[in-house]
Amino acid sequence: MDTSADPMPTPAKIAIYDLDRTITRAPTWTPFLLHAVTHHAPWRLALLPAVIGAAALRALGLIHRDRLKQVMHRAALGTLTPARAEHIAAGWLARFGPAHIRRGARAQIAADRAHGHRIVIATAAYGFYAEAIARDVGADALIATHTAIDSLGRLLPRIEGDNCYGPAKRDMIERWFADQGIARDRATVRFYSDHVSDVPSFEWADEPVVVNPHAALRRVAAQRGWRQVDWNG
């Protein structure tokens, strides 16, 4: 009988990317909604005052960011089928992607994949449109905010579960690891983002990489000694 120990499995290599202003040059939610309204339901422009009012309340700290997100969803999209959402997302990406997906992000994704990393996008964006970008850049998985779904399978203007932002993003990444059967102590994790809200995920990662950071994250990165990269070229 062979009593030698089984060899240890090769550690998984995971590269996790934020989406807005990390893979893309600009935020995605408002451009997506503007495309949806102007190309598919211009009558919804009449609901713009409701969005402006909610944005003002958010700026004053009177409503949560999740509430503003749901108001914008209701005003611009209402209830829609997954097929309709996919159709709108495809048309939007054809216009948005060429100018706004960073060449540096595409190059780094290709390099990470060549070195054996599994590519994951973790984003506060809704999955029903972020999936289009995930496919376009060749991601292996998408961790995103979900909408509630009614009994007919339609997407509702209501967040289901957590908005994938801040500490909730880290929690959702951890749940994804568990769902995939990946033990955290048997994986190396590289995490890319531009925003200070992702500090919990940076701290959880083995290799935090700060991408074109805003001022608050730049200060934190300098204090922690995190690597910073410039993908503006």
- Mean pLDDT of successive 10-residue segments in the chain (233 residues)? 58 96 97 97 95 95 96 96 97 97 97 98 98 98 97 97 97 98 96 98 98 96 97 84
- Does 6 reside within a domain? no
Q: What is the per-residue burial (b if ≥16 Cβ within 10 Å, else e) of 59-98?
A: eeeebeebebbbbbbbbbbebbeeebbeebbeebbeebee
- Does 147 reside within a domain? yes
**Helices and strands in the chain, H and E counts:** 9, 7
Supply the pLDDT for residue 58. Answer: 95
The neighbour count for residue 141, using CB atoms within 10 Å, is 15
- Does 73 reside within a domain? yes
- Does 161 reside within a domain? yes
Compute the distance between CA of residue 194 and CA of residue 3 in angstroms, rounded to an integer. 50
- Does 7 reside within a domain? no
- Does 2 reside within a domain? no
**Number of compact structural domains in the chain:** 1
Supply the pLDDT for residue 83. Answer: 97
**What is the domain-level CATH number for residue 47?**
3.40.50.1000
Q: Is 226 exposed, middle or buried (0-12, 13-18, 19+ CB in 10 A)?
A: buried
Give the domain extent around 183. 12-229
Supply the pLDDT for residue 10. Answer: 79
- Does 4 reside within a domain? no
- Does 16 reside within a domain? yes
